[in-house]
Amino acid sequence: MKRVRFRDSAGNVRGGRWTVEDGEPKVTAAAGPYGRIAFGDEMYSPDEVDILPPCEPTKMVCVGINYVDHAEETDSEIPDRPMLFLKAPNAVASHGNTLTLLPGKERIDYEAELGVVIGEQCKNVSESGAMDVVAGFTCINDISNRDDQDIEQNWVRGKAFDNSAPIGPLVATPEHVPDDASIELRVNGETKQSSSRDNLIFSVPELIAEITEYMTLEPGDVISTGTPAGVGPLSTGDEVEVEIEGIGTLKHSVKIP
């Protein structure tokens, strides 16, 4: 199943199911010609509603250096345990929006990432039981302010600023997302990042086990699993697409004052 949150024309926030004409979950990108949102016995076109972030996390736990090729491009050592940092709810942004980012910075980068949405409160989860607490997967762009990230240790200014985590457009349950799902990011139609979920250094179960050893995860919390090689700068007016096989395509534009 694929779940989507949206605001209808009357201003009501709804949770619906992404479908095709025969009512089965849609597998491809989130704006196909036959895509519809089902809510009860009503059907909506994605063009007539506002797509909202597919979950409301109390926190996002993000992973740095989780692809070997990204470690190489940043001249970083491969970590012996996941490198973790946090983004707060203020960072979350929606599919389809124009995101206003920080002014006066030399470099603000895109980073395509697979997001893991947690389905239940959990603590001290084993690797073998990790997928039992996963509601599904989504697309994330971990937008990064390199000016401040490069000179601070906790990355609050570099990673947790407003609109730094566009997410969506939906949550796909695990059976839709292959173990080797492709991950691609495009800027203005040009492919900048292209990799696969099976290139992760630390797998989804390993990440969940490590994180829940230290903190309780709540329903709707998100783990952003790291980005592959190819990160680069954004400019005002850029159109960004993050596409993950089995989930769909997160789209947003960028405004830098």
pLDDT higher than 60, residue 23? no
pLDDT digit string (tens) for 33-69?
Answer: 447 899 998 999 888 899 999 999 999 999 999 999 9
Half-sphere exposure of 220 (CA within 13 A, CB side): 12
pLDDT higher than 70, residue 21? no
- Whether a cis peptide bond, with omega within 30° of 0, leads into 169 is yes
Residues 29 and 65 in one domain: no
Residues 147 and 84 in one domain: yes
Identify the domain boundary among 51, 70, 90: 51
Residues 99 and 213 in one domain: yes
Computed over every residue of the chain, the mean pLDDT equals 93
Predicted confidence band of residue 27 (pLDDT cuts 50, 70, 90): very low
Quote the pLDDT of residue 47. 85
Residues 100 and 46 in one domain: no
Quote the pLDDT of residue 36. 87
pLDDT digit string (tens) for 175-216?
Answer: 999 999 999 999 999 999 999 999 999 999 999 999 999 999
Rounded CA-CA distance 185/249 in Å is 9
Quote the pLDDT of residue 20. 61
The backbone torsions φ and ψ at residue 228, rounded to the nearest 5 degrees and listed phi first, read: -80, 180
Residues 149 and 212 in one domain: yes
The pTM is what? 0.93
Residues 132 and 251 in one domain: yes
Residues 47 and 75 in one domain: no
What is the number of domains present in the chain?
Answer: 2
Residues 45 and 90 in one domain: no
39: alpha, beta or left, given left = phi > 0 and alpha = psi -120 to 50? beta
Place of tokens 């024309």: 9
Residues 25 and 57 in one domain: no
pLDDT higher than 70, residue 97? yes
> Residue 92's domain spans which residues?
53-255
Residues 148 and 224 in one domain: yes
Summarize the confidence of residues 13-32 as an average pLDDT. Answer: 61
- CATH number of the structural domain spanning residue 223: 3.90.850.10
Rounded CA-CA distance 161/179 in Å is 31
Q: What is the DSSP string of 88-128?
A: -GGGEE-TTPEEE--SS-S-EEE-EEEEEEE-S-BSS--TT
Residues 169 and 188 in one domain: yes
Quote the pLDDT of residue 32. 42
Beta partners for residue 25, in sequence order: 19
Predicted confidence band of residue 101 (pLDDT cuts 50, 70, 90): very high
Residue 209 CA: distances (Å) to CA of 42, 64, 112: 40, 16, 23
pLDDT digit string (tens) for 143-178?
Answer: 999 999 999 989 999 999 999 999 999 999 999 999
pLDDT higher than 50, residue 31? no
Residue 118 CA: distances (Å) to CA of 47, 137, 237: 28, 9, 33
Residue 107 CA: distances (Å) to CA of 129, 132, 195, 209, 232: 40, 39, 23, 34, 9
What's the angle, vertex CA 234, arms to CA 32 and CA 151, rounded to 5?
135
Residues 137 and 232 in one domain: yes
